Amino acid sequence: MGRKLAVLALLVVFVALIFGAIRFFMNRSPRLGELRVDSSPTVSISLDNNHLGRSPFQDKVQAGEYTIKLTPESTIDQLASWQGKISVGQNLLTYVNANIAESELTTAVDLLWLEKISSKNTELSLTTNPDGATVLVDNETRGVSPLTLSDITPGDHTLSVTSPGFAPRNLKIKTTAGYKLIVSMKLALSSNISPTPEATSSPTPSVSVTPTLKITPTKAATSSADPAKPFAIIKDTPTGFLRVRMEPSTAATEAARVNPGEKYHIYDEKSGWYKIQYEGTSKGWISGQYAEKVE
């Protein structure tokens, strides 16, 4: 009897060791997701400065967050490169669709990926560059970007985005229960307006979420001397001005506006945003996409 118990105990230990080894090697195996890139024209694709291939591209990559860069291969046309942030989830698809043009302002890019959520709901999160675009789902207006919808049904939908001065974007999307579909759209300046519109002296402020916050354009610097380094030089933008926000996010409240060519000292830097000082002692954040950093 004692011998049978000993054999049984050894068998249990052996099975436990096998399961432990299986779990160990499974945890050590790479966490992979899938990346698909379509573009017009053909581009060279890099992730975190590592060459990946050329479009059209579809393959497994390590799950994680990356900086993706698309470089046109055309030697005839002078086309602009584009880069941005993407997230690749384990066993999930991340999709990049780009229409590359002569400048970044006339280039359009769509980024889509899924993110697991704790509930069984179906969600859609949309951001646009620039923000404030009108969002339609299945031809029904749902608000302005940035926008999160928690009441969207699972299945196929048509997503449309329009903004004055920019070419409209239309996408066929599929939402899944238990996941949030994240869509980021970089809008292209419409071809029937100038890519560098003249900034007015008093642009109309957008509606603020905070009723007591007054949004006013900043005054151009009167001195030709550069501010202390590091400082940011505001680039040309599709709107003719750059929004200063309370936090480093396109969803944050707009506090002011600065104009192309103006220079501001950089106090802090976070996730591609620069914290600057404007109008005396006021501070806010600007997107590094439309600012050149001088060190």
pLDDT, tens digit (0-9, with 9 covering 90-100), for 187-226: 999 876 444 333 333 333 332 222 333 333 444 443 457 8
Q: Which of 11-20, 37-46, 65-74, 116-125 has the lowest mean pLDDT?
A: 11-20
User: CA angle, corner 56, sides to 100 and 87, nearest 5?
Assistant: 80
Residue 227 is predicted with a pLDDT of: 86
Bridge partners (DSSP) of residue 44 are 54, 71
Residue 130 is predicted with a pLDDT of: 92
Structure-block tokens of residue 69: 């860069």
Q: Say how far apart CA 71 and CA 81 lie, in whole Å.
A: 5
pLDDT of residue 24 exceeding 60, the answer is no
Measured in residues, the chain has a length of 295
Residue 222 is predicted with a pLDDT of: 37
More confidently predicted of 267 and 17: 267
Integer CA distances (angstroms), 31 to 84, 90, 116, 143, in order = 22, 6, 15, 36
Structure-block tokens of residue 194: 């100038």
Confidence of residue 166 (pLDDT cuts 50, 70, 90): very high
**CA 61 from centre of chain:** 19
DSSP string, 153-185: PSEEEEEEEE-TTB--EEEEEEE-TTEEEEEEE
Bridge partners (DSSP) of residue 100 are none
Residue 22 is predicted with a pLDDT of: 58
Q: Which of 276, 294, 288, 197 is nearest to 236 (CA)?
A: 197
Three-state SS string over 254-282 comes to: EEEEECCCCEEEEEEEECCEEEEEECCCE
Q: Which residues contact 248 (CB under 8 A, 6 or more apart)?
A: 270, 271, 272, 273, 275, 285
Integer CA distances (angstroms), 294 to 13, 97, 264, 283, in order = 64, 32, 10, 19
Sorted by where each starts, the structural domains of the chain and their CATH numbers stand as 32-186 (no CATH), 216-294 (2.30.30.40)
Residue 249 is predicted with a pLDDT of: 82
Q: Mean pLDDT in the chain?
A: 81
Task: State the average pLDDT over residues 111-118.
Answer: 92
Bridge partners (DSSP) of residue 137 are 140, 159
> CA neighbours within 13 Å on the CB side: how many for 188?
21
User: CA angle, corner 74, sides to 68 and 79, nearest 5?
Assistant: 65
Structure-block tokens of residue 203: 């642009």
Residue 219 is predicted with a pLDDT of: 41
